[in-house]
Amino acid sequence: MEGLENVLGMSSQFGSETMSNEEIQELSKALLAPETRDELYETSGGVTTMQDLEGMLADLTLNENDFTLWKDINKIKGFSTVEEYDQKLGHGISDGGFVGQIENPEFRDPVLAKEIAIVKYMSEGWQVGDVSANVRKIVDEKAVQQRSAMMRLLRNVNMAFYNADSSLVPKSFDGLEKTISGQSSDNIRDLRGNDVDQSVFDLVAQIITDFNGNPENARVYASPSGIKSVHDILNGSRDTSINNYIINSGDKNVTVGSTIRNIQTPFGNMKLRTDKLLGLCYENKIVPQRFNETSKVFEEAKTSEKAPDTPTVSLTVNATETGSLFAATGVRPSGAAYRYRVSAKNEYGRSIASAIVTAGGNVATGGSIDVEITPASTGNQPTCFEIYSEKAAGSGEFRYLGSIAANGASQVVYTDKNDIIPGTARMFIIDQTSVGESRVMAFSQLLPIHNTDLAKVGRYVHGLINLYGVPKYYKPNVLVEIRNINVDQTSVNRYNLI
């Protein structure tokens, strides 16, 4: 207390008034207050120091405006767990139409196909301890927990719109990638690791027009790196025939550069939309990691305690493979020994990825690599496996390559034909027409996002944030995917994953 005594002595020099006991206690706290983060929890001053009650959290992750496709998609009310709807495929065949003066024509019916969409259930839990709920805070703890649960749910559903596949996770619905792959090969434009250019969008708009869609209502969904690749059409690194725009903004200032919000085609103007979560589905998707709150670092780990255990992996190089896209030149060429890692997955999450495995020899032009996956004999069973590989052999940068369904405890084989190039971007073009018989896609909600409070069974309150629904694809043949797009930077914001 020597410091406190000195201060008390100083107080008599600057004024005749004496300090009250309460003032002395507050001054003692100030003198003993910690100067470092560690001291906050190691000194007596740290224990008694009032914590800052700032009114806002510093949010390093996603916010509501980032769930782009979720915001855009047409939402309709569902009335059953099995939603039925009809697709009119044609007006009825008629190759003639001419008849005699008193002759009746042939009678034709329109061609209809009945489709069903089975409602799926998404849910995230929240929990607040009684002590935490009653600590004085400006930001309500229950509201923070409920909002975080809702954000997790929105993050999952937005990503599922792109990459969900019921053959891989049976409890999920089918997303755009799975739905488009079931259409004509024209609906998938493969750039093979090359740059996107204007001709690609002109062709996409033509496909939408050919199949009776409306390019004027179409939106191009791209990740930030995908948006950059579109922008490079203008800035000269992609197309040197187009100069940068220089906009006078004052007597002494100019603004250089350009912003693309729409893509003009011969068939209409398509709107460009940024979706951060699209990058997390593909070019920015890395092996599973979690944030260690003690060490403050990201580390490889299961994403759920209910996730499967790590599988074992081996490789076989095949000299020839039907449909192989391995070539001597281009992006991810033949003549190299590529490396792989695999994570087991179920409806709850992903396992720690397997150790790196390297092919025993270089893959040949026209060849392939079999990734042989054996599930762990312990833990929860996987429903599928996610495979990660390198864009450049030996780079050590493992990005999402593809997935394969599990087969119980049996080994499964994923054949890498180089049809997917890891570390490249994808774009999805969706005609967002939502009215009448011209509608293309909608999300049918049996119940929209809602909170359910659960019974109190301990020293905490808890509940669920739920969403019950399923996408309906009325006109899937006007949906288009552009894949294997070259991007300059594949940035991973790990805070968007936790």
User: Is the pLDDT score of 35 beyond 80?
Assistant: no
User: Is the pLDDT score of 247 beyond 60?
Assistant: no
pLDDT in tens, 329-353: 999 999 999 999 999 999 999 999 9
Give me the DSSP letters along 20-85.
PHHHHHHHHHHHH--SSTGGGGTSHHHHHSPPP--SS----S--GGG-HHHHHS-EEE--SSEEEE
pLDDT of 193: 95
Query: Confidence class of residue 355 from pLDDT cuts 50, 70 and 90?
Result: very high
Q: Where are the alpha helices (DSSP H) in 236-378?
A: 276-281
Query: Confidence class of residue 25 from pLDDT cuts 50, 70 and 90?
Result: low
225 and 488 Cβ atoms separated by less than 8 Å: yes
User: Is the pLDDT score of 21 beyond 60?
Assistant: yes
pLDDT of 368: 98
120 and 446 Cβ atoms separated by less than 8 Å: no
Q: Is the pLDDT higher at 474 or at 23?
A: 474
| Domains (range + CATH), the chain | 64-89+109-283+424-498 (3.30.2400.10), 301-416 (no CATH)
pLDDT of 470: 96
pLDDT of 249: 53
Q: Tell me what the mean pLDDT of segment 155-164 comes to.
A: 97
Task: Please provide residue 78's backbone torsions phi and psi, each rounded to the nearest 5 degrees.
Answer: -95, 155
User: Is the pLDDT score of 18 beyond 70?
Assistant: no
pLDDT in tens, 43-77: 555 555 545 545 555 677 888 889 999 999 999 99
What percent of the chain has pLDDT above 90? 66
For residue 158, give the nearest of 263, 274, 48 by alpha carbon. 274
Q: Tell me what the mean pLDDT of segment 223-234 comes to.
A: 89
| pTM recorded for the entire structure | 0.85
Q: How far apart are CA 134 and CA 142, in angstroms?
A: 10
466 and 450 Cβ atoms separated by less than 8 Å: yes
Q: How far apart are CA 257 and CA 251, in angstroms?
A: 18
Q: Tell me what the mean pLDDT of segment 132-159 comes to.
A: 86
pLDDT in tens, 211-221: 999 999 999 99
Helices and strands: H and E segment counts in the chain = 10, 23
Task: Please provide residue 201's backbone torsions phi and psi, each rounded to the nearest 5 degrees.
Answer: -70, -35
pLDDT in tens, 435-458: 888 999 999 999 999 999 999 999
Q: Tell me what the mean pLDDT of segment 249-266 comes to.
A: 77
Q: 3-state SS of 96-116?
A: CCCCCCCCCCCCCCCEEEEEE
User: Is the pLDDT score of 163 beyond 90?
Assistant: yes
